[in-house]
Amino acid sequence: DTGVSQDPRHKITKRGQNVTFRCDPISEHNRLYWYRQTLGQGPEFLTYFQNEAQLEKSRLLSDRFSAERPKGSFSTLEIQRTEQGDSAMYLCASSPTGEYGYTFGSGTRLTVV
């Protein structure tokens, strides 16, 4: 395990479809984060897990978005009824408890057409 893995790397979907992304954090990292990055902007926080508990959610995470980390290991981010404004890079990051320095994955680039 050499880093944070995200799958898929790219996803093109039609407006109105549901999509799900997966993140596998570094195995010993208890904390897992989801961020969204649009073109030319810095990442924006979406949500954070400590083990399996979802402890923080951004206002950006509308009702169409849901994230899970059922066993405290991998996480999924689902977007229902996708909209064109959802097109972005979705980044996952992880860190050990007590450390702020994240390790990011390479992201999933979502394009909604």
Partner 1 sequence: GESVGLHLPTLSVQEGDNSIINCAYSNSASDYFIWYKQESGKGPQFIIDIRSNMDKRQGQRVTVLLNKTVKHLSLQIAATQPGDSAVYFCAENGIGNQFYFGTGTSLTVIP
Stretch that binds partner 1, among 13-21, 54-62, 65-73, 76-84 (CB under 8 A): 54-62
DSSP 49-92: EETTEEEEE-TTS-TTEEEE-TTSS-EEEEESS--GGG-EEEEE
| 44, 37 Cβ separation under 8 angstroms | yes
Q: Is 11 in the site for partner 1 (CB under 8 A)?
A: no
- Helix and strand counts by DSSP (H, E) for the chain: 0, 11
Q: How far is the CB of 81 from partner 1 (least distance, A)?
A: 25
Q: Number of C-alpha atoms within 13 angstroms, CB side, residue 36? A: 20
Q: Is 74 in the site for partner 1 (CB under 8 A)?
A: no
Instruction: Give me 70's structure tokens.
Output: 């059922």
**Residue of 19, 77, 91, 110 interacting with partner 1 (CB under 8 A):** 91
Stretch that binds partner 1, among 14-22, 34-42, 66-74, 75-83 (CB under 8 A): 34-42
Stretch that binds partner 1, among 13-21, 52-60, 64-72, 73-81 (CB under 8 A): 52-60
Q: Which amino acid is at 72?
A: G
Contacts to partner 1 by CB under 8 A: 4, 31, 33, 40-45, 48, 55-56, 58, 91, 93, 100-107
